[in-house]
Amino acid sequence: SQLLPTSSNQSKHLKSRIGRFEDDPAEKNTETGNKQSSLQACVAGLQERVELMDTRFEKINDSLNWIMAAITRVKMAKDNPPYIENPKIEDLPLLIQCATEPRFDPIKVQVSALEILLSLTFKNEAGTLLLQNNTFIQHLRTLVSNSDTPYLQKAADGILWQLFSKHETKHQFEYDVMISYSHKDNDICHRIYKTLTARDFRVWIDLEGMHGAVMQVMANAVKQSRCILICMSESYYLSPYSQSEAQFAFEKQRVLIPIKVQSGYKPDGWLAFLTSGRIYVDFMKTDFNAAFDKVVSEIASSRADEKDSSLILLRSNKSETSTIK
């Protein structure tokens, strides 16, 4: 509504004037000779201008319709920004305009635009185009450093992390397991966390729902954890923050342990791809204690696999040393 009123009102006014010129014989008859020709040329020019404005209006309207559909996904996801399917790369300039111009409301417009852009960064083409926009990148960095709106900071930080992810070096794990989950699934996930810590497992979890620049914190948690519990639900799937965590864990070759925390949920899209070939632990169908024991077994198995890998590597190094001698 903040983008279109001027063009729309101008178009309606010009159409009204054209209609009056065409339909009012008295007005036509008062014009003679060169004046009549001039009037006809004026009408033709007005018609051409209206056609151009209508074409521009339709294109902007199509873009806004798609953006409104994406914003609907934002509202459906509530605390989590949306996972947008079939992104329209040609709408990036309009989204960037909505995300950066101060005339737009920070919460109602800018945050939604940034969260849609965050979803689009999972597509290589969109990420490449955003990386080429130095002004936008600098705007994101300014938001992360100086914004007093936590939701703007969080969205900006998420985009920067997706565009500039870093590599890690080998190290000992600080945590046995990280719990990656949606805060809509607090009850079951917090119960799992408490039960794990009661058994002396070292667990990383975001209990309160962090705001601001959180992506680096999440990345460090993934790097420091041997296993990642992927707590699957519809809200988890819809969140690009969850997708960032899970994909980063997959890229870093962490042990992924998928668990179902929503009754009847079947993983789809990127989540189905990341968890394919793995056995799900279903906390909705199985008794909690029985399901929890399966999770503990998976964690213990990952410890054993790591020791075996270390032993194989040690034997391999010794063999190479003997050969050199």
pLDDT, mean of residues 267-294: 92
Tens of pLDDT, residue by residue over 92-112, are: 888 898 899 988 888 888 888
| Angle, in degrees to the nearest 10, between helices 150-163 and 215-223 | 50
Tell me the per-residue pLDDT of 50-67, one tens digit each, with 9 for 90 and over: 666 555 555 555 555 555
pLDDT band at 323 (very low <50, low <70, confident <90, very high): very low
User: Is pLDDT above 60 for 7?
Assistant: no
Given a cut of 90, is residue 205 above it in pLDDT?
A: yes
Considering only residues 256 and 314, tell me which one the structure prediction assigns the higher pLDDT: 256
Q: Is the pLDDT of residue 176 over 60?
A: yes
* pLDDT band at residue 115 under the 50/70/90 scheme: confident
The torsion angles phi and psi of 99, rounded to 5 degrees, stand at -80, -20
Query: In the prediction, which pLDDT does 92 show?
Result: 82
> Residue 230: which pLDDT band, with cuts at 50, 70 and 90?
very high
DSSP 58-114: HHHHHHHHHHHHHHHHHHHHTTS----SS--GGGHHHHHHHHH-TTS-IIIIIHHHH
Confidence of residue 173 (pLDDT cuts 50, 70, 90): confident
